[in-house]
Structures are given as C-alpha cells and as structure tokens.
C-alpha cells in the first residue's frame, strides 16, 4: 500500500505520517524539496529525531546544500526506493507536488538540457512559451529566471496523466484564517528556536546556492545579512512568502491530483487520525 499525505505548509502532515506509519509498519519517503538538504533544519520544519519516533525516513537530510538536487534526481532515487520496498507499506509526506507527481505518475524527463538565455524574448513571450510546454505550470510571468530554467533544464514531458503505483491521496487542510495564523506563529517559533543562527552559519560559510535562494526562511534572512532589509522586514517577508506558498500548494494539488481532504482537528488530533483511518479502510482491506 502507498499512501500520500499532502497539504499546505504547517497543517500537520508530519504528525499524521508518523501515526499512520506506526499503525501500518510503514516507511516514510519525504517529498518536500527543501527537506532533502542537510543543515536546512529549522526553516524547513524538518522532523527531528524525536519526532520521527524511530520510523525509517528516506530522501531526507542527505544532500549538501551546495548541490543542485533536481526533481529528475528525486525521481530516479525515489523509484529505486519504491522498487526496493515492494513488500512494505510506504507513506509519502510533504508539500512539493511536482516531486510527488514525478515519483508516482508517468512523468518523463529528457536528460539532455539546453542553455538558451532567451534574450530576444519578453517575459510575456517566455510565459506563453512555458504554457505551451505545460499548460498547468504555475510560474509567474514576471519570474523570468525560473521561466528560463523551466524551458531549459526542467524538460519534463507528461506522456499521459497515468498513475504508475496504486496510491491513496490524503490531504490535510484547515480554514484559511487558522492556517495563516498557524504559519505566522510557526515562523515566530522558528525564530525563537534558532533559525537566525542556523541561516547565519550557512551565510558565514558562503553557501549561496539554488537551495538557499529558493528556500523560504533562508533567502529572506540572507537579505537581512546582506543589509538589504531589516530583521523585522525579513521575518514579515518569511511569513508573507509562507502564506503565499500555502495558497499555491492548494491550487496545485486541487488541479493536479484526486485528493480526499480532511479538516485537521487541532484540539483533538486523534479524531483526524481516526477519520483518515476510516477512509483508508474504505479503500483497502488493510485496516
């Protein structure tokens, strides 16, 4: 059995994955693009050793942040893990939808890449070209660098929207006001628990990679260390970017996958667990 737990940042995916893994004696595969990197711990909300409760986790905390680990790399690694663990229950958990789709669907990549800088094209023309490649892509038309990277490097071709492995997709959600409050509170907690020191160590080691420039919580604090913005502005920007990311996650998952959504009961999380277990029981003969 393969389960996939998805949803926006800060909604309770990690906690649910641990409880289900204990119930089904399952392994867990991370599908958060930033949690693959070493040293990016607090800002990515990477599960601690205590939180993992002895459950075997794969594709977590194993890539040096100076290395550009791509969705193509992830697909190769995760397919091997799935094939090596055919006799086990597997739980995917994370919020990076493209990684999950590359893992479980017939999502193919061209290994050869181009290096076209598209200097002769406007942002609007780049955007339209990217839509021709994938009409569901969600890159903003003003994000020229990412559009070029998408056209050059992420040469992915969906042969057909075919699920390669039978999977139960479970989504956790909550109302927007509560989610945004939880995100804001979690950022405050990250700051209190040492996020600034964590990022400063990376900054002092002169690590300025794609991972750092992409990861929320890191790219904003780098601006602070570069004296481009104040600390208060950096913290508010982390909260703002986290909220916007959560909104994009909802849009992506709702458009791309057939997910059964559950409202997280933060007052009694066991109720959420039992609701999910009942749903899994209705889909399988395992429970």
What is the overall mean pLDDT for the chain?
90
Query: 93 by DSSP, 3-state: which?
Result: strand
pLDDT of 115 reads 67
Looking at the fold, whether 142 and 219 belong to one and the same domain comes out as no
Looking at the fold, whether 1 and 68 belong to one and the same domain comes out as yes
Domain count, the chain: 2
pTM (whole model) above 0.75: yes
Q: Calculate mean pLDDT across residues 31-57.
A: 96
Looking at the fold, whether 118 and 239 belong to one and the same domain comes out as no
d(C-alpha 173, C-alpha 179), whole Å: 8
Residues whose CB is less than 8 angstroms from the CB of residue 170 and which lie 6 or more positions away in sequence, other chains included = 3, 4, 5, 6, 16, 259, 260, 262, 276, 279, 280
Percent share of the chain, pLDDT over 90: 74
Looking at the fold, whether 101 and 120 belong to one and the same domain comes out as no
- Top-ranked range on mean pLDDT: pick from 18-22, 148-152, 155-159: 18-22
Number of CB atoms found within 10 A of residue 223's CB: 14
Number of CB atoms found within 10 A of residue 131's CB: 13
Q: What is the pLDDT of residues 113-128, one digit of tens each?
A: 556 777 777 888 888 8
Q: Domain of 194?
A: 1-110+156-287
Looking at the fold, whether 126 and 266 belong to one and the same domain comes out as no
Q: What is the pLDDT of residues 160-210, one digit of tens each?
A: 568 999 999 999 999 999 999 999 999 999 999 999 999 999 999 999 998
Q: What is the pLDDT of residues 235-277, one digit of tens each?
A: 999 999 999 999 999 988 988 889 999 999 999 999 999 999 9
Helix H, strand E, coil C: the string for 132-201 is: HHCCCCCCCCCCHHHHHHHHHCCCEEEEEEEECCCEEEEEEECCHHHHHHHHHHHHHHHHHCCHHHHHHH
d(C-alpha 109, C-alpha 158), whole Å: 8
CATH of the domain at 1: 3.40.50.300
- Looking at 129, 154, 179, the residue that finishes a domain is 154
Looking at the fold, whether 120 and 231 belong to one and the same domain comes out as no
Looking at the fold, whether 118 and 225 belong to one and the same domain comes out as no
Residues whose CB is less than 8 angstroms from the CB of residue 76 and which lie 6 or more positions away in sequence, other chains included = none
Looking at the fold, whether 32 and 121 belong to one and the same domain comes out as no
């Amino acid at each position: 059995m393969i389960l996939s737990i998805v949803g926006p940042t800060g909604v309770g995916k990690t906690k649910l994955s641990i409880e289900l893994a204990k119930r089904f004696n399952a392994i867990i595969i991370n599908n958060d693009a930033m949690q693959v990197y070493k040293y990016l711990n607090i800002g990515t909300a990477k599960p601690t050793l205590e939180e993992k409760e002895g459950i075997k986790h794969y594709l977590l905390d194993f890539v040096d942040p100076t290395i550009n680990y791509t969705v193509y790399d992830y697909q190769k690694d995760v397919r091997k893990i799935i094939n090596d663990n055919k006799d086990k229950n597997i739980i995917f958990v994370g919020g990076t939808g493209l990684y999950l789709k590359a893992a479980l669907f017939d999502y193919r990549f061209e290994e050869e890449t181009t290096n076209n800088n598209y200097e002769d094209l406007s942002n609007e023309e780049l955007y339209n070209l990217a839509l021709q490649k994938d009409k569901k892509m969600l890159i903003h038309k003003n994000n020229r660098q990412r559009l070029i990277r998408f056209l050059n490097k992420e040469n992915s071709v969906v042969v057909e929207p075919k699920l390669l492995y039978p999977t139960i997709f479970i989504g956790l959600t909550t109302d927007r006001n509560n989610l945004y409050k939880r995100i804001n509170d979690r950022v405050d907690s990250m700051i209190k628990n040492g996020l600034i020191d964590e990022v400063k160590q990376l900054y002092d080691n002169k690590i300025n990679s794609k991972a750092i420039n992409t990861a929320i919580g890191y790219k904003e604090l780098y601006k602070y260390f570069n004296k481009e913005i104040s600390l208060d502005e950096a913290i508010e920007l982390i909260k703002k970017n986290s909220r916007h990311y959560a909104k994009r996650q909802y849009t992506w998952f709702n458009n791309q996958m057939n997910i059964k959504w559950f409202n997280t009961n933060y007052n009694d999380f066991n109720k959420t667990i039992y609701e999910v277990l009942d749903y899994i029981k209705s889909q399988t003969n395992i429970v």
